[in-house]
Amino acid sequence: MDLSKFLVDNHRGISAQWVEAIIQTYPSEGAKFFSGSANQFANPVGHTFRNNIEKMFLNLAKGADVAECTKELDGILRIRAVQGFSPSVALCFVPALKEIVHRELEKAAGPDVVDAMLRDWNLTVDRLTMLGFDLYMNCREVLWQQKANQLYSRTHKLLEKANLLKDEEITG
């Protein structure tokens, strides 16, 4: 059995399970909302999850390098960074793909051949996890920098209003 063909042929079901792995990290009300409407405008987060997961999975299934998944993975992780997830929770859906594919392949090919077939696949998912960690940390860094800049700006304006800054500090 060819793993790539199996993954491409079963991409809809596997992608749906992978999306579910993301959605399960949310409280029940949020999970219900994100798994609801597929409309881009009524449910932009759920839409992003579904579209990006499917694109990423198809790229990986066809043997593409994990770097080709950067845009889609970044889109998901930006959402999760803004929502304030810890890195482990934000990224837990990526390694969940190993388990999902293992389970589906075991149903189709039997338990005896699965481990050998998934050796390279598991390494690919590991590389995707590492890429995801870098992307997530970059997003968090940008968010913290924006918060720091906003705090500095507010403090500066308050000092100006209180007339506690010297003239050269205001102009320079």
pLDDT at 1: 75
What's the fold here for domain 3-142?
Answer: Globin-like (1.10.490)
Running DSSP on this structure, what letter comes out for residue 57? H
Q: Can you give the residue ranges of every domain in the chain?
A: 3-142
Q: What percent of the chain has pLDDT over 90?
A: 67
Q: At 129, is the pLDDT very low, low, confident or very high (cuts 50, 70, 90)? A: very high
| pLDDT, position 168 | 54
**How confident is the model at residue 65, as a pLDDT?**
95
Predicted confidence at residue 116, as pLDDT, reads 85
pLDDT tens by residue, 96-111 = 999 999 999 999 888 8
Smallest CA-to-CA distance from 22 within 79, 103, 105 is with 79
Would you say residue 5 has pLDDT above 80?
yes
Give the per-residue pLDDT at 170: 52
What's the whole-model pTM score?
Answer: 0.82
DSSP SS3 for 52: helix
**Both tokens assigned to 9:** 């042929």
Instruction: pLDDT band for 171, please (50, 70, 90 cuts).
Output: low
pLDDT surpassing 70 at residue 139 = yes
The per-residue pLDDT for 167 is: 62
SS3 38: coil
The DSSP H or E segment spanning 170 is helix 167-171
Cβ–Cβ under 8 Å, residues 51 and 68: no
| Lookup: tokens for 168 | 């050269």
Q: What is the mean pLDDT of residues 140-150?
A: 88
Which of these, 44, 60, 47, 71, lies nearest to 11 by C-alpha position? 60
pLDDT band for position 30 (cuts 50, 70, 90):
confident
